[in-house]
Homo-oligomer: A and B are copies of this chain.
Amino acid sequence: MKTNAALIALDWGSSNLRAYLLDARGEIVATRDDASAGASVLPPGARHFDQALMTLVGDWCSQQPGLSALACGMVGSAHGWREAPYLPCPTDITRLHTQTVEVRTSTEVQVLVVPGLIYAPADGAPDVMRGEETQIAGVLALRPDLTNAARVVLPGTHSKWALVRDGCVTAFATRMTGELFAVLRRHSVLGRLMPAFDADFNASAFEAGLDAARATGGRDLTHELFAVRSLGLTGQWPGAALSDYLSGLLIGHELVAGLADTEESIPLVLAGEAALCARYRYALLRYGRAPVAVLHDTAPAGLWRIASAAGLVEPHEASNE
C-alpha cells in the first residue's frame, strides 16, 4: 500500500492513547485511539508501552519503514514509558524539540517523547504539565498572531491556564475542575440527588452556579458546594438540574481565580474538547470576557511543529515511496 505519511503523532495521556498519521503537509490522514493504553491504565514497564503502540499502529510502521513517532503527555512521566524532563518556565515554546527523549522499541520505529513544563513561583507550590505544552505549541502554530501575548486556557480534568509572552510560556496554573466535578458527582453526597443519566443542559442552573461563584469572589468553595445538596433538598432545583449547577459553580470558581490573574488587555484563547470549550465560552461570556478563539484538538498541530523543528519530518515534501 502506498502512503505519503510523514509522522506518527501520539497524544498519549493518562487515560487514553490517541494516534494520528500525518502527511507531509502535517494534515491528518488517519486517527486511532485506545483507552486501554492510557499511561495510567497500562501496567508499569516499558514493554507494555511498546506493545500497546505496536498493537494500535504496527501496520502504519510496517507499511512505511523509517517513519518516526513523536509522543506527548503522561507517556513521559516517571510511571510512563520513559521519563522526559520538566523544562522550567519561562520556556520558549519553539525549543521543546531540543529536550525530547528517545525510547527503545522492539521494532525499527524511532519514538521520541516531548518534555513537560514546570513552573515554580517564588511564593507558592510548583506546578507541572505534560501534554499541554504540546497543545500550546499547536495553538501558536494555528494562531501565530497570539505568539506575542496570550492567556491559553485548556479546560479539562486538570485545566491549565498558561501565560504566553514573546513565544514563551512564562507561567501557568492548574485547576482541578474536571476531576473535582467527576469525583463529587460519583462519590460524594452531591451526586445522590442527581439522576444516573445526563439530563439536557440546563442553562439556568449552570448560570446560577456561575453567579454564585462570582458573588463570593471565588471564596468559600467548601461551603458553596453544599448548596448543590440543599438546593436539591429544598426543591429549588430539580435533581436533573443539579449537575449543571455544580458544573457552573466549579467552572465559575476556576474562572474567577484565573481571570483575576489575567490582564484585561491580553487575548484569551480556549483550546480543548468541543463540548467543554462550549461550556467555558458560555461562562466567559457571562463574566463579560469573550475569548478571541476557540480551538479543538491542537495536539497534532503541536506535535507536527515540534517534529518539524527536530528534523523528524521535512515539511512540504511528499514522501511518495
Contact = CB atoms under 8 A, between A and B. Distances in A.
Nearest to A186: B187
A127 B175 contact: no
Interface in A118-157: 118, 123-128
A250 B158 CA distance: 18
Interface stretch (A4-12, A21-29, A217-225, A287-295): A217-225
Main secondary structure of the interface of A (DSSP, over half): helix
Contacts of A176: 188-189, 222-223, 225-226
Contacts of A220: 175, 218, 253, 257
Q: Bin chain A's interface residue count.
A: 35 or more
A16 interface: no
B183 A188 contact: yes
Contacts of A188: 176, 179-180, 183
Interface string A254-287: 1011001000000000000000000000000000
The 8 closest A-B pairs by CB, nearest first: A125-B227, A220-B257, A175-B222, A174-B226, A183-B187, A221-B221, A187-B187, A175-B223
A257 B222 contact: yes
A30 interface: no
A173 interface: yes
Interface stretch (A53-61, A95-103, A231-239): A231-239
B184 A189 contact: no
B173 A230 contact: no
Given A176-B222, A222-B175, A124 B183 contact: no
A256 B224 CA distance: 14
Nearest to A250: B222
